[in-house]
Structure 1
Amino acid sequence: MPKYLILLAGGPCTGKTYLIHLLQQQFNNSLLLTPDEAKELYADSVGFNSLAEKNALEQKVWHFYYGVLQWYMDAGKKIIISEYPFSDKQKNQLNDFANRYHYQVITIRLVANFDILWQRRYKRDRSLERHLSHIMTHYHYGDELADRNLADDLITKEKFYQICHDRQYDKFALGTLFEMNVDDFSKVNYADLLNKLKKIIT
């Protein structure tokens, strides 16, 4: 039986979460695994008091993520979907797992103009819907901050640009690649992408 690992790649605020919902509707037997979800789980259950503790917790998150991914693959789950601003930091491990457990990898890479991404990132980080742990140097479950402009770990435009440039989110690819420009979400042809995926995933 063919097995598939679908990676939703691309920089922050390219609409990966929205596309996940479409993919799950299309492939209702799929399993979802995302590092950011694990980050929020660990932040709520363990918490952190400094940037050093936050970074140490992130290492645990990746250990958890790869462990669950390997468990899913070892169990032979047919379709696994994962989204993240993937970079070369994750590429070798993902490729190793795919080869070891005989998964066909499909990368959907979402790209957009940097200034557009920055506008979206700025707005998202200040939304009350954004998990507070992402924008604070200290966090424990139950913490609140009504004015997100007061968060002490908000990324600057310069830092955001440097990270995007250094990690080359817009270059990540593994397996079969589909690239979509998401400068304007209203013009993205998601239906065409889903039809192409249906022809591959049997």
Structure 2
Amino acid sequence: MKKALILLAGPPGTGKTYFKNMIMARNDNFESTSVDVFKERLYDEIGFDNLDEKKVIDDNALYLFFQKVEEFMTLGKSIISDYPFSDKQYSELQRLSQKYGYFDITVSMYAADDVLYERQKSRDKDESRHLGHLMTHYHRGDVVKDRSKIEIMKSKKEYLDFNKKRGYNDFRLGYLIKFDVSDFSRADYEGVLREINSLIG
């Protein structure tokens, strides 16, 4: 089996974490990490009072993510990560992959704009969604029982413009697999899994 870095990319609402968990359940050779894991840990440990402080935390989370990726690579572990990857992460991931001789696969997950926006709205209203992603200020223990009161709630135009500006659908590192998840019930998870397995051996 090749040393692989698998990046599940695409805009929010494409089901990246669900697919990552599916892959992990079928293959115990992968180590998993994500920028959001570190964001949420720092939101709870440090907290923030404004968007400038939140940005500092998000930048630190990205640094810790890169550290974890390199840690796994020094051990020769195959890695899977899910995130709305963009140019912001590309150069460092490419550098690490080349340094440690990894085979890169990007699964670019996409769906129709209307579908994505509705999924994102539903996701943000879900109580399991960490408040640190949704507020301009947050400290551990904060509660917003009425999720219609969250502070970071984009309109459809804002959401789509933001996704386009970040280039979520354009991210590619290594071998590219385009994966249509407009309808979760019809998405070809098995086909993409077979393609990944054939690539990494």
Decide: shared fold, TM above 0.5. yes
Give, in whole Å, the separation in 2 of the partners of 1:62 and 1:171. 20
Match of 1:200 in 2: 199
Pair 1:152-2:151 in alignment:
yes
Give, in whole Å, the separation in 2 of the partners of 1:115 and 1:59. 30
User: SS of the counterpart of 1:178?
Assistant: strand
Mapping of residues 23-62 of structure 1, within 5 Å: 23-62=23-62
Mapping of residues 130-141 of structure 1, within 5 Å: 130-141=129-140
Pair 1:10-2:10 in alignment:
yes
Work out whether residues 95 and 174 of structure 1, in 8 Å CA contact, stay in contact via their aligned partners in 2. yes
Q: Report the count of equivalent residues.
A: 201
Match of 1:81 in 2: 80
Work out whether residues 26 and 194 of structure 1, in 8 Å CA contact, stay in contact via their aligned partners in 2. no
Mapping of residues 34-183 of structure 1, within 5 Å: 34-77=34-77, 79-183=78-182
Report the alpha carbon displacement of residue 155 of structure 1 after superposing the two structures with TM: 2.3
Report the alpha carbon displacement of residue 190 of structure 1 after superposing the two structures with TM: 0.7
Give, in whole Å, the separation in 2 of the partners of 1:56 and 1:158. 27
* TM-score, L = length of structure 2: 0.96
Q: Which runs of 4+ in 1 moved over 4 A?
A: none
User: SS of the counterpart of 2:14?
Assistant: coil
Give, in whole Å, the separation in 1 of the partners of 2:171 and 2:21. 22
Give, in whole Å, the separation in 1 of the partners of 2:193 and 2:151. 40
User: SS of the counterpart of 2:185?
Assistant: helix
User: SS of the counterpart of 1:187?
Assistant: coil
Report the alpha carbon displacement of residue 127 of structure 1 after superposing the two structures with TM: 1.3
* Percent of pairs with identical residues: 37
Work out whether residues 43 and 141 of structure 1, in 8 Å CA contact, stay in contact via their aligned partners in 2. yes
Give, in whole Å, the separation in 1 of the partners of 2:110 and 2:61. 26
Report the alpha carbon displacement of residue 171 of structure 1 after superposing the two structures with TM: 1.3
Deviation readout 1:119-149 (Å, 9 max, x if unpaired): 1111111111111111111111111110011
